[in-house]
Homo-oligomer: A and B are copies of this chain.
Amino acid sequence: MNARGFAFEVTATAGRARRGRLTTPHGEIQTPAFMSVATYGAVRGLSAGDLEALGAQVLLANTYHLHERPGEAIVQSLGGLHGFTGWRGPWLTDSGGFQVTSLSDRVRVDDEGVTFSSPLDGARRVLTPEGVIGIQEALGSDVAMVLDECLRPVDREREDDAVDRALAKALDRTLRWAERSANARKREDQAVFGIVQGGVSLERRAFSARETASLGFDGYAHGGLGLGEERSERREVIACAHDELPEATPRYLMGLGKPVDIVDAIAEGVDLFDCVVPTRNGRHGLLFTSEGILTVRNARYKDDARAPDPACDCPTCANHSRAYLRHLLHTGEALGSRLATIHNLAFYFRLLRESRRHIEAGTFEAFHREVEALSDTRAD
């Protein structure tokens, strides 16, 4: 990796799965790793202390949202994300492009960048590749992402030819933006990751990976996935991109996914993950357990003294019953969301920890099958 204070080393493999260590100026990340989503600089209801106790290694914040509130100048003046939030470990910031196109109805993408009206005040905003790098340099994240054009799922409903043309155009634009992003970098102590696009086309993914890699980023992400494609399709496009990416750089699957999606991607050699699923599901009372998904709001748990997952050693399961958690979620007590989020993050961190252990032990394939077997199982 080019950026100062960074290194990436693969320490073990099992098939294409990789066990590694990503060194950043704010600490080491054992990979494969799950990054907790802290959109505005906080993981819903959890303090830095909660996250440390759970074994969180790295957090992800959203460039666009922090640009809107409180603004990167304020974050910078308070010591960047590390000083501002109190989470002193590594931070990754996404580019905000995906959020902008999801949030706003009035979005125009042209060669210059993305123009949209702010959902906050309706005013016109422009995100350019250079601007997005500048914002992330001010935020002071350890890893910045380039601005890319991610086609929205709705585009996949169109005629094949139209989708093809849109994909080709978006891909071309994303590559030119990537080059502008690389040229815009000023900070030497911040890694920048390029983003591979191309929908579910193997040719496009391979092309995108090859061209992006030629720009020499510190790492590479798979963008535009988790938008309705089949698991097998996803695995194929990830694999074919990896064939074109340098071995010695970290690979990040953006925004995915359920446990099975994560082990699928680990099996293809992905090193980094983020997803809102554990935190969002937690708030809705959907708990990941060793028996499958538990809908803890169900009436059947109203007097259930068991821990949400008796096999789990997280602070929620160690101290609280399903009945109490159900009661807190029913009455809208903020503690309910927090306890459920703590449990789900503990589940994800354990999933990644087990994955690392199984890669080292050469038993990852069997573990992958175990997680797969539990996929979509209801514990209720």
- Which residues of B are found within 8 Å of A305, using beta-carbon distances? 77-79
- Residue in chain B with minimal CB distance to A69: B331
A163 sits at the interface (CB 8 A): no
A49 sits at the interface (CB 8 A): yes
CB contact under 8 A between A334 and B45, given known A70-B327, A327-B69: yes
- Which residues of B are found within 8 Å of A43, using beta-carbon distances? 335
Segment with Cβ contacts to B, from A184-192, A258-266, A314-322, A362-370: A314-322
Residues 312-350 of A at the B interface (beta carbon under 8 Å): 315, 319-321, 323-324, 326-328, 330-331, 333-339
Copies in the complex: 2
Contact among B40, B69, B70, B338 with A47 in the assembled complex (CB-CB below 8 Å): B338
> A77 contacts B335, CB within 8 Å?
no
* Closest chain B CB from A324 CB (angstroms): 6
- Which residues of B are found within 8 Å of A48, using beta-carbon distances? 319
- Residue in chain B with minimal CB distance to A76: B303
CB contact under 8 A between A40 and B333, given known A47-B339, A74-B302, A305-B78: yes
- Which residues of B are found within 8 Å of A337, using beta-carbon distances? 334
CB contact under 8 A between A85 and B324, given known A48-B319, A305-B78, A331-B40: yes
- Which residues of B are found within 8 Å of A333, using beta-carbon distances? 40, 42, 44-45
- Residue in chain B with minimal CB distance to A70: B327
Give Cα A30–Cα B337 distance, bound, in whole angstroms: 32
Give Cα A333–Cα B69 distance, bound, in whole angstroms: 12
Contact among B85, B324, B331, B338 with A45 in the assembled complex (CB-CB below 8 Å): B338
* Closest chain B CB from A270 CB (angstroms): 29
> B335 contacts A47, CB within 8 Å?
yes
* Closest chain B CB from A238 CB (angstroms): 33
> B320 contacts A86, CB within 8 Å?
yes
A41 sits at the interface (CB 8 A): yes
Q: List 10 A-B contacts (CB under 8 A).
A: A42-B336, A46-B335, A47-B315, A74-B327, A77-B305, A78-B324, A86-B319, A86-B324, A334-B338, A338-B338
